[in-house]
Amino acid sequence: MLSTEYPKTTICLYTSLCILYISVFTFLIFGIIYLIEDYELAKQCKQSNLWIYVLVSLILSCFNVNFKTNDEKSKGLASIINLILIAIINLSLSIWGGLELFQYSHSCTDLYQSHLWIIGLISFILQLILCAICFISPFILLCFISVHENNQETIIQNDIHV
């Protein structure tokens, strides 16, 4: 469904979404490959759970927490709850990942220099970015909802006075 009003904008949006999906799919494929390749290396390092962290990060990156509601008034609240839950999950994973990457995996030189560590670092950075976006977005949504409700009340009041 391309918009006839803004076709270039719509094409740009769809192209960006395709690039994003291809990037995520490529990241997941390489993550799985490096989990398989570096399994024995991670098994030798008893001090670190980096392999498990990367596995959990890859699995949870495929799922999205989503509350749905049929009530028009609570759709904004459901969106805010979704964002907060996603932020909490990513914050928890990034704390765990930070500990694994920067504290526990340094005890094993081979693990620290592996592709698994790089995939773990990329997961950690993406989780921090997503966490920041999810913590900021509810405030923006609340502002938007309050402005929208105020505009609706103003329109109703103007209709009454006319």
Check residue 146 and give its pLDDT. 77
How many other CB atoms are found less than 10 A from the CB of residue 66?
Answer: 11
Q: Is the pLDDT of residue 67 over 60?
A: no
Say which residue, 52 or 6, is predicted with more confidence: 52
- CA 13 vs CA 7, 8, 33, 64, 130: distances in Å: 10, 9, 30, 21, 20
Check residue 53 and give its pLDDT. 95
pTM score, two decimals? 0.75
Distance from C-alpha of 3 to C-alpha of 108, rounded to nearest angstrom: 54
Distance from C-alpha of 31 to C-alpha of 25, rounded to nearest angstrom: 10
Q: Confidence band (pLDDT; 50, 70, 90) for 97?
A: very high
Check residue 52 and give its pLDDT. 95
Alpha carbon of residue 4 to chain centroid: 31
Helix, strand, coil tally for the chain in percent (to 5): 85, 0, 15
